[in-house]
């Protein structure tokens, strides 16, 4: 996961993975069945270990604008983790990916959009969101914009610039 996350799933092959992990190649094939299985397992682990815990912040009963700001600050700060998001990196190269992994990505993305939509729906209930925007659309927008943030972080854009842009793009979600 570390290597895929830091350098991108397309930039490192199974030979290199085995070399860096200090394991034998037959061992990897016994354990994961092949490169596709390894990537599926990595994506699964990334989702459970990195993405899902980050959803907890969205369920806290704090003001929507505040949580949004903290999220942007978190994504654009040096977290001691590899920059960017393995999930986002996989999605950018989804075209030449295994169909099974592609489906897995799409289903996880749906779960992500749903989580964002729920978050925004609760904000709407407290009059902390723009009522002209449906939770579903807000889910799409948040997914797209936060994904963009992480892709910009991967290519090394200045964090403050990334944060400013995202704030502008998402200010439409706040009540006018």
Partner DNA sequence: AGAATAAAATACTAGTCGGTTCAAAAATGT
Partner DNA sequence: ACATTTTTGAACCGACTAGTATTTTATTCT
When asked if residue 96 is in the footprint of its own copies (CB under 8 A), the reply is: yes
15 binds, among its own copies, DNA, none (CB under 5 to 8 A by kind): DNA
Distance CA 161, CA 139 (A): 23
Nearer to its own copies, 2 or 164 (CB): 164
Under rule CB under 7 A, residue 23 binds DNA: yes
Nearest residue (CB) to its own copies, 15 versus 59: 15
21 is a site residue for its own copies (CB under 8 A) = no
Residue 91 structure tokens: 């999605």
Comparing CB distances to its own copies, the nearer of 50 and 169 is: 169
Residues 28-47 binding its own copies (CB under 8 A) are: none
Alpha carbon of 17 to those of 9, 45, 63, 89: distances in Å? Answer: 11, 16, 43, 17
84, 151 Cβ separation under 8 angstroms: yes
Q: Which of 1, 36, 65, 169 binds DNA (CB under 7 A)?
A: 36
Using CB under 8 A, which of 23, 33, 161, 175 touches its own copies? Answer: 161
How far is 1 from 90, CA to CA, in rounded Å? 12
- Neighbour-count burial of 5, counting CB atoms closer than 10 A to its CB (0-12 exposed, 13-18 middle, 19+ buried): buried
State which of residues 20, 34, 92, 93 lies at the interface with DNA (CB under 7 A).
34
Q: Are 41 and 114 in contact (CB under 8 A)?
A: no
- Residue ranges binding DNA (CB under 7 A): 13-16, 23-27, 29-30, 34-36
């Amino acid at each position: 996961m570390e290597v895929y996350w830091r350098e991108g799933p397309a930039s490192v092959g199974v030979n290199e993975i085995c070399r860096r992990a200090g394991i034998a190649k037959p061992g990897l094939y016994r354990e994961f069945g092949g490169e596709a299985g390894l990537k599926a397992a990595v994506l699964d682990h990334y989702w459970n270990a990195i993405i899902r815990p980050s959803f907890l912040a969205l369920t806290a009963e704090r003001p929507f604008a505040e949580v949004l700001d903290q999220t942007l600050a978190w994504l654009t700060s040096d977290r001691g983790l590899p920059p960017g998001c393995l999930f986002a990196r996989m999605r950018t190269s989804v075209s030449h990916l295994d169909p099974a992994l592609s489906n897995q990505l799409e289903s996880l993305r749906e779960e992500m959009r749903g989580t964002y939509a729920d978050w925004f729906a609760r904000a709407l209930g407290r009059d902390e969101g723009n009522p002209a925007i449906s939770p579903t659309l807000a889910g799409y927008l948040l997914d797209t914009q936060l994904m963009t943030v992480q892709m910009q972080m991967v290519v090394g854009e200045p964090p403050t610039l990334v944060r400013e842009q995202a704030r502008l793009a998402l200010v439409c979600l706040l009540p006018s």
